[in-house]
């Protein structure tokens, strides 16, 4: 009988988030990399990244609420969308 020991190392490398976002000339529109706009839905009480597919639906329904950050959305009693996982 041989025993094989497998050591699985799951290393979750969470890189430093604010690690220098200095791009001099990339994207003319928004110059605020830190503050991602969070879009909440008054109806579902879920919040999304602005790029989420549901944001279009929220706008259609007219239930959009903007938050400055995930923290703001949480304070308002909202929960993160499971598709776009804002704030993770």
Chain residues in the site for Zn ion (CB under 5 A): 48, 52, 54, 81, 83-84
Nearer to Zn ion, 24 or 77 (CB): 77
The residues with which 64 forms a beta bridge, in sequence order, are 41
Nearer to Zn ion, 59 or 83 (CB): 83
Question: In 6-41, which positions are buried (b, 16+ CB within 10 angstroms) versus exposed (e)?
Answer: eeeeeeeeeeeeeeeeeeeeeeeeeeeeeebbbbbb
- Confirm if 48 and 41 have CB atoms less than 8 A apart: yes
**Smallest gap, in angstroms, from Cβ of residue 48 to Zn ion?**
3
**Smallest gap, in angstroms, from Cβ of residue 54 to Zn ion?**
5
**Smallest gap, in angstroms, from Cβ of residue 45 to Zn ion?**
13
Nearer to Zn ion, 1 or 50 (CB): 50
């Amino acid at each position: 009988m041989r025993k094989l020991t497998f050591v699985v190392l799951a290393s979750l490398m969470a890189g430093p988030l604010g690690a220098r976002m200095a791009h001099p000339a990339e994207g003319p529109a928004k110059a605020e990399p830190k503050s991602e706009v969070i879009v909440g839905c008054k109806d579902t009480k879920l919040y999304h990244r602005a790029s989420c597919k549901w944001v279009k639906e929220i706008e259609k329904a007219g239930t959009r609420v903007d938050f400055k950050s995930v923290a703001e959305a949480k304070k308002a009693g909202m929960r993160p969308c499971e598709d776009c996982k804002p704030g993770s």
